[in-house]
Amino acid sequence: MEVIRFAKFDFGYGHDFTIKKSDGSSLHISGYTCTLKLWQQESTDNVILSAGCTNISASLGTTRFTAASGDIAVLGSYIGKVELTRSGERMSVKVFKAIIGDSPF
């Protein structure tokens, strides 16, 4: 599983995610709303972050999460995913391990 590191309390920066199909090719994300979600590893009921992303290049499957003040505030290891939604459809893609640490780490 991919590991993505975030620095506690950093905000204003963007982190790009490229959404891929199972065959490794880029998923065209035009028309999808992309949301970054982080939750504690032991409980998917305890979501600590649910933040909208901006589609940077829909044809290449690239979306960007830009941290707002307070988004990345609790040290620890989490499970993260980018969730795509559009009319009548929801899919979870790009599942990863997220580590929030003191800056720099």
**β-sheet bridge partners, residue 100:** 6, 76
Residue 104 has a pLDDT of 61
In 3D space, the residue among 53, 45, 47 whose CA is nearest the CA of residue 85 turns out to be 53
In 3D space, the residue among 17, 13, 10 whose CA is nearest the CA of residue 105 turns out to be 10
Number of domains in the chain: 1
Show the tokens assigned to 98. 């997220």
Q: What is the pTM of this model?
A: 0.85
Q: Give the tens place of pLDDT for each residue, 21-64.
A: 889 899 999 999 999 999 987 777 788 899 999 999 999 999 99
The domain in which residue 82 lies consists of 3-101
User: Looking at 25-87, which runs of residues are DSSP E strands?
Assistant: 33-40, 47-52, 54-57, 62-66, 76-86
- Asked whether the predicted pLDDT for residue 9 surpasses 60, the reply is yes
Residue 34 has a pLDDT of 95
CATH assignment at residue 69: 2.60.40.3350
Q: Cα-flanking dihedrals φ and ψ of residue 60, to 5°?
A: -95, 0
